[in-house]
Amino acid sequence: MARSQSVTRRTLHYYWLATRKHMGFFLTLVLATIGFHALLSYGNPYVMSLIVDRVSAGAVAAEDLVSVFGPYVLALIAINLVGQACSKLQDYALWKLEIAVSYDLATVCFDALCHQSMSFHSNRFGGTLVSQTTKFMNAYNQLLEALMFPFMPVVISIVMTCAILIPRVPLYVAILMVLLVAYALISYYMYKRILHLNAEAAGAQNQLSGELSDSVANILAVKTYGREEYERGLFDRYNREVVARDSKRMHSSLMRGIVTAAITVVIMSVVTVFIAGGNAWFGISAGTLVMMFTYTNTVTNQFNFINTGLQRLNRALGDASGMTAVLDEPRLVDDVPNAQPLVVTEGAIDFEGIDFFYEDGGVRTQVFDQFELHIKPGERVGLVGVSGAGKTTLTKLLLRLSDIQEGRILVDGQNVACTTQQSLRRQIAYVPQESLLFHRSVAENIAYGRPDATIEEIREAARRANALEFIEKLPQGFDTVTGERGVKLSGGQRQRIAIARAILADCPILVLDEATSALDSESEAAVQDALETLMAGRTAIVVAHRLSTVASLDRIVVLDHGRIVEDGPHDQLIAANGQYANLWNRQTGAFLE
């Protein structure tokens, strides 16, 4: 429960930071809400009580009606005009505030997700993060509306009731306030007891969203292995958990509602007794009795709405808890204070005394231990080795997708840990093993690293990546939308789009992580020619299992369990008859009889 309260405080902190940027709208909303409820809920009954008292005092001649009751009528008209104006001003300020803050909260969530490390994203469902972001934004609107409708009217009702009735019936007000305080304390106590149920219900819903996202994202595997029923079983399990959590929350909220309803009955019983005997026992006037009943009925109705408001509040805070935890999570990879932009003039890369490990499920896996590798400016280096040797991890450390624990990575003598991440990555063209494209046009995907590129430059990059021919055959050519993750294109086509993107980016350092793995032999040969041109004069790191990709490079580094076991050009390593030669012979069929 303590953790739930801590998350609630942090959620309210983030919401307040966003709200105070638009304090004008917030204050307008508060003042308009006060004016609306004070005038329409209390101004009207007050004037009516004056009319009732005047009528009770004796008959009024027809010719005196205007002079006697005219001021009351004008007062009622003025009260309703100003009250309705406040109502519309309230609507305007509420909408403006919700729109402005939703924009800010969406930006905060997007920035938090974008600047988190790849380790963070690797351990979470993308669908869950999207769901948490949406709920976090919607929860603010729910909280704001709960504050302005059930809660502020309660405060206004109590203040107005005390201000008007204390001078007339102080005993009644004292009894009423005691009952209302008891109502509030019991409501708060029960609210605290069920707060954690909302976080649990929201967590179950997020799990369900994540499972749905995972199944849909991998629908091809589901269908090709005939696992629809299995996935449905998983989904049903999470769905039943949502039902169980929501049911538990519902039962607790209903019990709370029953208790508070009983207190409301007691309050209305007290006012009934006072109204029935108020004139005989205390000489209370008819107009005051009307006010007592009207104001007490207003207060109790507002308190009844608190029950609904607290349910909305609980649900909203529960929904927001997931993203609050994400926002509170420290960035595993972050820019140091006063980080400087990386300036690449030559392209030398040095890995000095690198220690790196990762933890998963409490188990630490050491990948590099005092690792050393030095790459000269303009040198083309291939990284090869069996799966798990650390090839891809090394490139990700260079890009600071993860941070090392010890040692330094230098680019032209500049420690990448002391430079801004964006400037580092804008100097490195990266083509991953699995090229994922945006649900945008082919041209936009190619120009992603250089959005200001002309269509002629985009076409030239596509031509050099051996992609122009198939692009021109697409229904809308370069304007064809590739589908989510490029699903409308084949693996080889996606890879060539990614290579065209790297060619167009024209960065001084190039990292290719299995960049030709999805290409057929003919396409690979064509792309190899393009890559040879692209790598000329640039520092290049090429990760490959297909050794034909790296055979022509200046130097090949063979990794085994995070260590360099061989280092040299292709011919030298073949002659050494070591691990590289063994891999080469297996791929070229030299071991076949």
Domain boundaries, the chain: 2-328
Structure token digits, residue 568: 């040299």
H or E segment to which residue 109 belongs: helix 65-114
HSE-up (13 A, CA, CB side) for residue 167? 3
- Tell me if 387 sits within 8 A of 350, measured CB to CB: no
Average pLDDT for residues 27-49, to the nearest whole number? 87
- H-only helix segments in 228-285: 228-282
- Residue 45 phi/psi, 5-degree rounding, is -60, -35
Distances from the Cα of 120 to the Cαs of 114, 129, 138, 316, in angstroms? 10, 11, 24, 25
Query: pTM of whole model > 0.75?
Result: no
What is the crossing angle of helices 2-19 and 65-114, to 10°? 110
So what's the pLDDT on residue 60? Answer: 65
So what's the pLDDT on residue 591? Answer: 44
So what's the pLDDT on residue 150? Answer: 80
Average pLDDT for residues 40-63, to the nearest whole number? 73
Which pLDDT band holds residue 592 (cuts at 50, 70, 90)? very low
Given a cut of 90, whether residue 440 has pLDDT beyond it is no
- Tell me if 105 sits within 8 A of 18, measured CB to CB: yes
- Tell me if 235 sits within 8 A of 215, measured CB to CB: yes
**Residue 527 CA, distance from chain mean position:** 39
Average pLDDT for residues 486-514, to the nearest whole number? 83
According to DSSP, the residues that pair with 351 across neighbouring strands are 373, 409
- Tell me if 209 sits within 8 A of 128, measured CB to CB: yes
So what's the pLDDT on residue 501? Answer: 87
According to DSSP, the residues that pair with 568 across neighbouring strands are 556
Query: Could you say which architecture CATH assigns to the domain 2-328?
Result: Up-down Bundle (1.20)
So what's the pLDDT on residue 86? Answer: 93
- Residue 364 phi/psi, 5-degree rounding, is -90, 130
Given a cut of 90, whether residue 81 has pLDDT beyond it is yes
Which pLDDT band holds residue 57 (cuts at 50, 70, 90)? low
Average pLDDT for residues 154-182, to the nearest whole number? 84
Which tens digit of pLDDT belongs to each residue from 270-321? 777 776 766 666 667 777 777 777 877 777 777 777 767 777 887 788 788 8
Long-range pairs of 354-357 with CB within 8 A, sequence gap ≥ 24: 354/397, 354/404, 354/406, 354/407, 354/408, 354/409, 355/404, 355/405, 355/406, 355/407, 356/393, 356/397, 356/402, 356/404, 356/405, 357/405
Tell whether the torsion through CA atoms of 287, 288, 289 and 295 is positive or negative.
Answer: positive
Using the structure block, give the residue that is written with the tokens 């300036």.
343
What is the crossing angle of helices 228-282 and 286-328, to 10°? 150
Given a cut of 60, whether residue 4 has pLDDT beyond it is no
So what's the pLDDT on residue 307? Answer: 67
So what's the pLDDT on residue 262? Answer: 78
More confident residue, 285 or 584: 584
- Residue 155 phi/psi, 5-degree rounding, is -60, -45
Among candidate residues 150, 143, 147, the one with its CA nearest the CA of residue 101: 143
Which pLDDT band holds residue 99 (cuts at 50, 70, 90)? very high
Given a cut of 70, whether residue 361 has pLDDT beyond it is no
Which pLDDT band holds residue 546 (cuts at 50, 70, 90)? confident
